[in-house]
């Protein structure tokens, strides 16, 4: 399954917490949707605690749950490297093991590459 570009996955990343409006994060989310890199992006407000450069950090952030396919992960990585404000953005990708077929098919249809 790992090499199947049609496999549905959920990727997560975090972004500095700010009002969800037309701004950097809104434009970035819209670009992922417009490019077909993601079918849907849900946002959650979270508190993150971590060590960064030897110092304890506690930050309020937005977590983005990005529904996409394995075949679009490289495009997502590129978009993260180009448009994310953090030096080292979080990106974790989880396989979707089950779901409603109609929803999974919709994700696949929204994230097809232009040459597929």
Residue range 16-67, pLDDT digits in tens: 886 544 567 788 889 899 999 999 999 999 999 999 999 999 999 999 999 9
CATH 3.40.50.1240 fits 8-110, yes or no: no
The token pair at 33 is: 């949707």
**Full-prediction pTM beyond 0.95?**
no
């Amino acid at each position: 399954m790992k090499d199947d570009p049609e496999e549905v996955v959920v990727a997560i990343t975090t972004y500095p917490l700010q009002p969800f409006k037309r701004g950097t994060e809104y434009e970035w989310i819209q670009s992922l949707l417009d490019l077909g890199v993601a079918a849907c992006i849900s946002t959650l407000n979270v508190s993150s605690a971590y060590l960064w450069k030897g110092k304890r950090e506690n930050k309020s952030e937005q977590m983005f749950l990005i529904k996409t396919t394995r075949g679009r992960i490289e495009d997502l990585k590129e978009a993260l490297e180009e448009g994310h404000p953090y030096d080292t953005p979080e990106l974790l990708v989880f396989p979707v093991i089950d779901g409603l077929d109609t929803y999974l098919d919709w994700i696949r249809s929204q994230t097809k590459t232009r040459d597929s």
